[in-house]
Amino acid sequence: MKIGFIGLGRMGSGMARNLLRAGHGVAVYNRSREKAEALGREGARITNSPREACGGSEAVITMLSDDPAVAEIVFGAGGIASAMENGCVHISSSTISVAFARRLATEHGGKRQEFLSAPVFGRPEAAESKKLIVVAAGEVKAIERCRPLFDAIGRQTFVVGSEPWQANVVKLGGNLVIASMLEAFGESFAAMRKAGVDHHLFLDVINEIFGSPVYKNYGRIVANEEFDPAAFMLKLGLKDIRLVLEAADELAVPMPLASLIRDHLISGVAHGQADLDWSSLARVVARNAGLES
Ligand code: NAP
């Protein structure tokens, strides 16, 4: 397929690369041009604006930080909403708010443009090695048309609803589960350290109980304090938990755990951890227990 790809950060670069490897024609745009140049050497067409990236494309994928970044790229000057041609579908893979996903569906719909939400699970190494889990929602025919793109970036695609925002609810719920695991690791590791038990040994026990690659990977990262460089920055993790709480408010679902994690992430920001990996949430918990890292 002929596609545009906008946002070549930690996640977007690997995703765009796998689309190229699968034989799709990819026009790329990134605010800082140097990240696009690496992909240009691998066969992507480098463009100078979001508008240019989606010109003549059957689909345009955005993988940007947050709601304001997506708003800028879609509705700003030279944005894709004013450039998408008939039959072009906008696929939003960023982790954005449920409310903003609804706005995107409404505004694109008003212009007779198609819109799908397809956020992803997996860190940059999974994006690079085509191991992402794609969670898609929207109109069935549009999803089927875009399936070759989802197959190119991930190991499995789940279709979770006919309304795009439903995929965003799933993504946010999933991130709350991961953040809760990080909080639990932080609390348990702090207890092990104070009890004089080797926390790596504790992790071996946990891995035997859960047998989960996610527990194994994050457990190792937390146990070894591998927080820098970040694969997923704590400030983006805080953005996500805030979005979880917004959705919880709208859906009238009390989420005391999400509220607690939000406060711990804010404490992380206050202690200079914004650009560290979000698993450094465990450092906040350790600090609360009087432990230095
Ligand atoms: P990142 O490395 O910080 O990349 C962010 C991208 O957004 C960059 O291309 C950046 O452009 C662009 N951007 C930010 N603000 C912009 C603006 N105002 N206008 C235009 N472009 C803008 O972030 P990431 O880790 O790839 O995450 C991207 C999205 O995926 C986020 O929604 C995140 O929550 C989600 N996600 C991340 C992970 C992970 O493990 N990292 C996993 C799943 C989902 P510049 O290069 O010019 O700064």
How remote is the CA of residue 166 from the centroid of ligand 1, in Å? 21
- Stretch 103-108: mean pLDDT, rounded? 98
Is the predicted pLDDT of residue 287 greater than 90, yes or no? Answer: yes
Pocket perturbation via mutation, ligand 1, pick of 31, 39, 49, 65 by most ligand atoms within 8 A of CB: 65
Is the predicted pLDDT of residue 266 greater than 90, yes or no? Answer: yes
- pLDDT value for 86: 87
pTM of the model: 0.97
- Closest to 150 in 3D by CA, of 164, 132, 165: 132
How remote is the CA of residue 171 from the centroid of ligand 1, in Å? 16
- 131-145 tens-digit pLDDT: 999 999 999 999 999
Indicate whether residue 31 lines ligand 1 (CB < 6 A).
yes
Angle (CA) 115-22-175 rounded to 5° is: 50
**Atom 42 of ligand 1 has which residue's CA nearest to it?**
123
Indicate whether residue 287 lines ligand 1 (CB < 6 A).
no
On average, the pLDDT of the chain sits at 97
Angle (CA) 98-13-108 rounded to 5° is: 35
How remote is the CA of residue 195 from the centroid of ligand 1, in Å? 40
- 190-219 tens-digit pLDDT: 999 999 999 999 999 999 999 999 999 999
- pLDDT value for 191: 98
Local confidence band at 292 (pLDDT 50, 70, 90 cut-offs): confident
97 near 246, Cβ under 8 Å?
yes
Is the predicted pLDDT of residue 293 greater than 80, yes or no? Answer: no
Angle (CA) 80-85-88 rounded to 5° is: 85
How remote is the CA of residue 46 from the centroid of ligand 1, in Å? 18
Cis ω for the linkage preceding 164 (within 30 of 0): no
- 143-200 tens-digit pLDDT: 999 999 999 999 999 999 999 999 999 999 999 999 999 999 999 999 999 999 999 9
Pairing mode of beta strands 59-62, 45-46: unpaired
Indicate whether residue 199 lines ligand 1 (CB < 6 A).
no
Indicate whether residue 124 lines ligand 1 (CB < 6 A).
yes
- Stretch 53-66: mean pLDDT, rounded? 96
Pocket perturbation via mutation, ligand 1, pick of 6, 37, 64 by most ligand atoms within 8 A of CB: 64
Local confidence band at 82 (pLDDT 50, 70, 90 cut-offs): very high
How remote is the CA of residue 277 from the centroid of ligand 1, in Å? 14
Pocket perturbation via mutation, ligand 1, pick of 11, 129, 182, 265 by most ligand atoms within 8 A of CB: 11
Q: How far apart are the first and last CA of the chain?
A: 49
Q: Which residue has the tokens 């089927």?
A: 144
Residues designated catalytic:
171
Indicate whether residue 32 lines ligand 1 (CB < 6 A).
yes
Q: Answer left, alpha or beta for residue 215, where phi above 0 means left and psi between -120 and 50 means alpha.
A: alpha
Indicate whether residue 33 lines ligand 1 (CB < 6 A).
no
- pLDDT value for 75: 97
Question: How far is it, in rounded angstroms, from Cα 92 to Cα 166?
Answer: 13
Residue % of the chain over a pLDDT of 90: 98
